[in-house]
Structure 1
C-alpha cells in the first residue's frame, strides 16, 4: 500500500477538498483508494452503516472513492462543545468530554490507536489518501501532532502541500511551511498546489519561478481555480458566500454558536426559487417564510444565547403568526418544553425551560444514540441518520412528523404540532420531494426542487472535481510515486 498525504499551509487551505478530488481521480484511474484522517476536529459528523460516528468529511471522501464509510477512516473525532473542551469519539464511539490539556495527556494511547488502524489499512487498499489538519509545522505542537507528519512517516508515504491564494501571501505560506519542515520530511514532498485562485489565471504565470529561490526543492504542480459549483460539503462549516444563497422567499437558518451538521442546509442550494440565509438577526427571522433551528453540540448554551439575543422572542412571534418553524436534532430539543443535562454529557450543565413550541422534554444522558435510518417521502427513499445524547419524550398526545425505517422496521419519528415540526434526522432535506413538501407548507410559491437526490448529485460533483485537478495540475509526480 502507498500513502499519499494532503497537507496544508493552514486550516482552511483546502485540504479536505483536494483529498476528495484526489480520491475521485484515483478511483477513475482504477486504483483501490481509501480516505483517512487520523484526528478530525469538527461538529459536522455522520454515521457509518454499523452505527459508528465519524467526521462528515471522511464520509464524503469515502463516497468519492466508491466505498462504504467506516470508523477506520477517522479513528479520532473531536467535537468542540465550549469551555469544557470537546467530546472525544474513538473508533466511532463517544467518550467523555476532555479539555485540551487532558487530551494531550493521552497522546501515546491515541497515537497507538492511530498506528494500529494505519497498519490495518495495508491489506485493504492500494492507496491511502491521508488528510492533514491545520499546518504540519505548528512548532509548539509537532511533538504531539498525530495527524500530519507521523502517519506519513509510519507508512513511508509522500505528501502534497496545499496553499490558499485566496487569503493572500501564497509564497510566504508555501516557503514558510517548506523551510520549517525537518529535512527528513521535506524529502517526502511531491510538490505544492496553489489552491482557490479566483479571476484570470493568466495574471498568475509561473508561480514556481517565483517560489524557487525561497523553497528550493519544492516544485509547484499547478494552480487550481476556485469553482463554487464543485463544493460537495464544507468540513468546518460555511464559507462566507454560503451564508446567503439563492433568490426567492427566505428560509432563515438560525446561526447558533455551537451549530452542528451545517451541511443539512446544502441540498436547498440545488433548488431554484428559494433563498437560504444563516442569521442571528431577529428582523430576518421576522420576515422569513420558514425558520430552521439546526443541530447544536451544546443545546443548553445555545438556548441561553437565543434568549440573550432576543431570538427566542422572534421565533415565538413567528410561530404565532403561522411561520413554519422546524427544529433539527438540537434544534428539535430547543423547541420543546424543557431540557435537562444534570451531568453535562452534551455540553453545559443545567435544567431549563425550552421554547415551549412542541409538547416534548429532553434529558441528556449516555450512551450516545448514533444510528442510520431510511427516510421516505412520496415513494422516494434515502439514507439519513441520528447523532444525539438527548432522550426526547412527549408530554402530551403527539402527531409524528413522519415514518422512517430502521433495521427494516418502520417507526414513527419526530413531532408535528401545526406548523412547528421537530426531527432528529440529519440528511432529512436530501430528498427533492421532501423539500417540495416543506416549501409548500412554508408558502414558497416560486420553489422548484432539483430533479435528483442530493446524494446522487454529489457523485457528479466528485467526477467533475477529478476532471478539474487533472486539467490544472501536473500529476506526473503522483503517478510516478504510485506506479500508475
Structure 2
C-alpha cells in the first residue's frame, strides 16, 4: 500500500471533505487508514491522543478513519497571530513564533519533521490519505514547498486534483493549475475530481470529455453539492444551520480577528431551538438573549478590537436587561479584570484591562495547556467532554464558583447572579447532556439536546455514501495499491 495525496485548485475547493470521505470509504473496506496534512494554517485545532495539537479538520478525518488523532497526522501547524506572523507547532508542540519570511527560511527544518511524521505513519497504517494546502500552483511559494507538490515529490506519491465547480471556471482551474506544474508534478497528477456540482450531469459531460482529451488525464468523479452538510471546518466560519423553530434562543458571537476553535458553536448551528449569528467588524450589534465570546489566538489584541467595536458597552447594556454572557477560553480571559502577557507570548508584551465582568485576572505563561478532559457540569447531572488548548493561568475569587468539575481540576466560573459564565473548555456543547443543561442555564426554556458526535458520524456516513456513488473508487484503490 502507499500514500495518495488530494490537492486542490484553490483554498476551500473541498480537499478536507474529500479526504474525510475517502478515509471512511477505505475504513469500510477493511483497510487501516490515516489522514495526513503536512502543513496547515488554521486556528481551529484539536488535542491528540499523544498530548499534541493538530488542525481540527485532520482530527475529523481521523474520526472518519476510525483511529485516534495523533500529532504525526499534521506535523506542521501554523496558527496566525498577526497578518505577518504565526505560532509554529511541530509534531504537536509549540516550536516558536515566526514572521512569514523567517518561516520561509525555516522550511527545510520543517520538512524534516514532515517526512519523519509521514514515515512513522507508514509503519502503522496500510494507506495514508494526504491533503494539500491552498493550491500547488502558488508560484511565489513553490521554492521549499512542503505543503503540496514538495511533499508529493519527496514521498513519491500519486496526486488527485480537486476543483470546485460551484465557484465557476472549473475547467480553467484544473487546466491552469496543471499547466503551472513541473513535468514530474504533472506526471504524478493521476486525475481530477470535480466538487460541488448542481444540475443535470448530462450538461457537464461534453466539458468532461474535453478536459480528458486536453490533459490526457481521467476525471475520476463529479461530486454533487451536499446541501446541509455540517462538519468541522478547517478554518472558515461555517454558516450552514439546521432548520429552526419559530421561538429560538438568540445567540450572537463576535467574529474576532483571531477567532479560534469556532467549531465550538457547530452544535448550536445544528440545534433547532438556537438561532446563532456571527457578528463581523463594523456590523451593528443586534439584541440577543446570549452573547458568547469565543476563543482567541491573540487575546489582548482581540480584546482591544472588541472595545473599538463597542462590544463592552453593548454587553453592559445586555446584562442590564437580563441577558447572559458566556466566555470560552480567550473569551473567558477577556471577562476578567486584567490580561497580563509580560513575555509577549501572544503579541506585544504588556498588561491590558479586561471587561471586568468576573473577578479574576489572567497571566500568560510559557507552556500551553493541552489536554482532553471529561467531567460534569457543577450542580447538574450533566456529563461534559471536551479539550483545553490555552496559554495563561487565571486566578481570582470568581473561580470559587466553578462551572465544571473535570475530576482532576475545577474549571471556569459563574457569577453570583448567574448572568456571566466562563470556561477554558472547548467542545462544551458537543455532549448532549451538557448541551441541554448549558442552554437551560443560558435561558432556553424546555431546552432539547443535540448529540453532535452522533451527527458527525451520520454526516461522515452520508459523505462516504456520496463518494461511493460518484467516484471511481476502484481506480482510486488501484492508485493506492500501485
Same fold, judged at TM 0.5 (above): yes
The Cα of 1:340 is off from its aligned counterpart by 1.1
Aligned counterpart, 2:359: 359
Aligned counterpart, 1:387: 389
Cα pair 1:286 1:314 within 8 Å, conserved? no
1:109-134 CA-partner distances (Å, limit 9, x unpaired): 11111112222222111111000001
Of 452, 460, 474, the match for 1:462: 460
Q: Does 1:402 align with 2:400?
A: no
Aligned counterpart, 2:270: 270
Q: Does 1:444 align with 2:441?
A: no
Aligned counterpart, 1:225: 224
Aligned counterpart, 2:165: 165
1:59-104 CA-partner distances (Å, limit 9, x unpaired): 1011001101111001110000114500001111112210011111
With over 3 angstroms needed to count, the CA separation of the structure-2 counterparts of 1:145 and 1:245, relative to structure 1, is farther
Matches within 5 A, 1:264-343: 264-280=264-280, 285-343=285-343
With over 3 angstroms needed to count, the CA separation of the structure-2 counterparts of 1:175 and 1:286, relative to structure 1, is closer
Aligned counterpart, 1:43: 43
With over 3 angstroms needed to count, the CA separation of the structure-2 counterparts of 1:222 and 1:84, relative to structure 1, is closer
Secondary structure of 1:166 counterpart? helix
Matches within 5 A, 1:189-204: 189-204=189-204
With over 3 angstroms needed to count, the CA separation of the structure-2 counterparts of 1:100 and 1:84, relative to structure 1, is closer
1:287-323 CA-partner distances (Å, limit 9, x unpaired): 2111111001111111111111111110121122221
Secondary structure of 1:195 counterpart? strand
CA distance in 2, matches of 1:480, 1:84: 42
Matches within 5 A, 1:134-283: 134-213=134-213, 215-239=214-238, 241-242=239-240, 246-247=244-245, 248-280=248-280
Cα pair 2:345 2:365 within 8 Å, conserved? yes
Cα pair 1:164 1:170 within 8 Å, conserved? yes
1:149-196 CA-partner distances (Å, limit 9, x unpaired): 122223321111101111111010000011112121222222111111
Secondary structure of 1:143 counterpart? coil
Aligned counterpart, 1:475: 473
TM-score by length of 2: 0.94
Aligned counterpart, 1:346: 346
The Cα of 1:345 is off from its aligned counterpart by 0.4
Secondary structure of 1:251 counterpart? strand
Q: Write 1 or 2 for the structure with the bigger share of strand.
A: 1
The Cα of 1:480 is off from its aligned counterpart by 1.7
1:408-457 CA-partner distances (Å, limit 9, x unpaired): x4x2110100210000000111122222223223333374322xx31232
Secondary structure of 1:94 counterpart? strand
Cα pair 1:37 1:131 within 8 Å, conserved? yes
CA distance in 1, matches of 2:398, 2:143: 55
Secondary structure of 1:375 counterpart? strand
Aligned counterpart, 1:111: 111
CA distance in 1, matches of 2:243, 2:298: 26
Deviates more, 1:277-286 or 1:346-355: 277-286
Cα pair 1:84 1:99 within 8 Å, conserved? yes
Secondary structure of 1:120 counterpart? helix
Aligned counterpart, 1:22: 22
Cα pair 2:2 2:481 within 8 Å, conserved? no
CA distance in 1, matches of 2:285, 2:125: 49
CA distance in 1, matches of 2:160, 2:398: 57
1:343-380 CA-partner distances (Å, limit 9, x unpaired): 22023333111100011101112111111111335555
TM-score by length of 1: 0.93
Deviates more, 1:324-333 or 1:392-401: 392-401
What is the aligned length? 476
Secondary structure of 1:212 counterpart? helix
Cα pair 2:242 2:270 within 8 Å, conserved? no
Cα pair 1:280 1:311 within 8 Å, conserved? no
CA distance in 2, matches of 1:150, 1:188: 12
CA distance in 2, matches of 1:297, 1:148: 26
Q: Supply the RMSD in Å over aligned alpha carbons.
A: 2.1
With over 3 angstroms needed to count, the CA separation of the structure-2 counterparts of 1:147 and 1:223, relative to structure 1, is same
Cα pair 1:245 1:277 within 8 Å, conserved? no
CA distance in 2, matches of 1:435, 1:32: 33
CA distance in 2, matches of 1:230, 1:324: 30
Cα pair 2:73 2:118 within 8 Å, conserved? no
Aligned counterpart, 1:423: 423
Q: Does 1:122 align with 2:147?
A: no
CA distance in 2, matches of 1:472, 1:357: 53
CA distance in 1, matches of 2:466, 2:366: 44
With over 3 angstroms needed to count, the CA separation of the structure-2 counterparts of 1:244 and 1:47, relative to structure 1, is same
Secondary structure of 2:139 counterpart? coil
Secondary structure of 1:287 counterpart? coil
